[in-house]
A = this chain, B = another copy of it.
């Protein structure tokens, strides 16, 4: 398709490098989605035989790892003069852009059923619970999206202990509860912590 002369002889490469390979991979990922980046396709885009890439990366996974590292290296350093919250906002907003942005498009890596919050059956129950808690029609779906993002992210980001999951979940619930217009939730939660 790329070559009009039928047989294609990748020969005008001359001067491969990790950076050049990663650049081409990012571009290919941005154009067709990361899941379509294959060693063979990438080699063709670089006018090189597939095996040439293995001089620079042990295998495909090493190449993808380097691509993720490259994306997150571009994240702006925080400004030490700002508040910690401001610094965190900067760090995480640009991290999200890097991860969800064109080059990586992380979402496409996961089963489609996870991609739309509504596709998970849980959403019905969750939205009802949040509605009864006092979240209005605009806040409830956002709160649910937040909670689901945290849960999916935690499940995806390696092996955390139950403790860690609960720690983060409690912080998140605290923040959500504090955003309620009143503590108008009919039912106060019974606090029972050891004697």
**B-contacting residues of A (Cβ < 8 Å)?**
61, 64-69, 72-73, 75, 77-78, 83-89, 91-93, 95-96, 99-100, 106-107, 109-117, 119-122, 125-126, 129-130, 132-133, 142-143, 145-160, 162, 164-179, 185, 187-190
Contacts and interface: CB of A to CB of B under 8 A. Distances in A.
Contact of A172 (B83, B91, B157, B172): B172
Given A64-B112, A72-B120, A117-B157, 4 more contacts: A65-B119, A67-B111, A106-B156, A109-B109
A167 B149 CA distance: 12
Contact of A99 (B100, B152, B164): B152
A171 B167 contact: no
A112 B61 CA distance: 7
A133 B84 contact: yes
Nearest to A100: B155
Contacts of A158: 107, 115-117
A145 B160 contact: yes
Contacts of A160: 145, 149
In this complex, which of A69, A119, A157, A170 has the most chain B Cβ atoms within 10 angstroms of its Cβ? Answer: A157
14 contacts: A61-B111, A72-B120, A73-B121, A75-B121, A84-B129, A89-B166, A99-B152, A109-B156, A143-B171, A148-B157, A149-B153, A171-B175, A171-B179, A174-B179
